[in-house]
């Protein structure tokens, strides 16, 4: 069985995507590289199965996709849905941001991703437990 992650035969395409990525991807990478997102390592243009994702955090099994205008077209939406179902079947969560939000709502995107990272870390550390926030009220005895 061929490897699922970073297949060797995808290396040229992955390299090309990194080198010719969108401005939003390059800007977003500045937030993620060198473990800047709450200490978690992300990879850029990472292959999983037959798909190449924009950003992937192996420890959290979290994919971050940046979507441009082409992702609103019917064919692209169907492809994204199939791809996301495959990734979800591997217990990989997918989160999407619009390219325009990267520039128009930088702090909102970062805060939202930080919250997703925190929740994902908790859910993977304690998959069978429910987590409550606050002063302890509502915890089962």
* pLDDT attached to residue 138: 36
Please state, rounded to an integer, the average pLDDT across all residues of the chain.
Answer: 85
Q: Quickly state the pLDDT bin for 13 (edges 50, 70, 90).
A: confident
Strands 62-67 and 43-48: unpaired
* pLDDT attached to residue 126: 66
* pLDDT attached to residue 65: 96
Domain boundaries defined on the chain: 22-125
Range with the poorest average pLDDT among 32-36, 57-61, 71-75: 71-75
Rounded-to-integer distance, Cα 13 and Cα 73, Å: 23
Q: Which two tokens stand for residue 14?
A: 């992955």
> What single DSSP character describes residue 42?
-
The CATH number assigned to the domain with range 22-125 reads: 3.40.960.10
Average pLDDT over residues 40-67: 96
Rounded-to-integer distance, Cα 23 and Cα 12, Å: 20
């Amino acid at each position: 069985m061929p490897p699922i992650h970073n297949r060797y035969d995808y290396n040229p395409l992955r390299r090309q995507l990194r080198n010719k990525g969108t401005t939003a991807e390059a800007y977003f990478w500045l937030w993620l590289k060198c473990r800047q997102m709450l200490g978690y390592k992300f990879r850029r243009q990472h292959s999983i199965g037959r798909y190449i994702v924009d950003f992937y955090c192996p420890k959290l099994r979290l994919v971050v996709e940046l979507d441009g205008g082409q992702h609103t077209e019917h064919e692209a939406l169907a492809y994204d849905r199939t791809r996301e179902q495959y990734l979800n079947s591997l217990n990989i969560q997918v989160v999407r941001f619009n390219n325009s939000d990267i520039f128009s709502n930088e702090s909102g995107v970062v805060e939202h991703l930080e919250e997703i990272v925190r929740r994902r870390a908790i859910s993977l550390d304690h998959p069978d437990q429910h987590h409550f926030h606050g002063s302890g009220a509502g915890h089962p005895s």
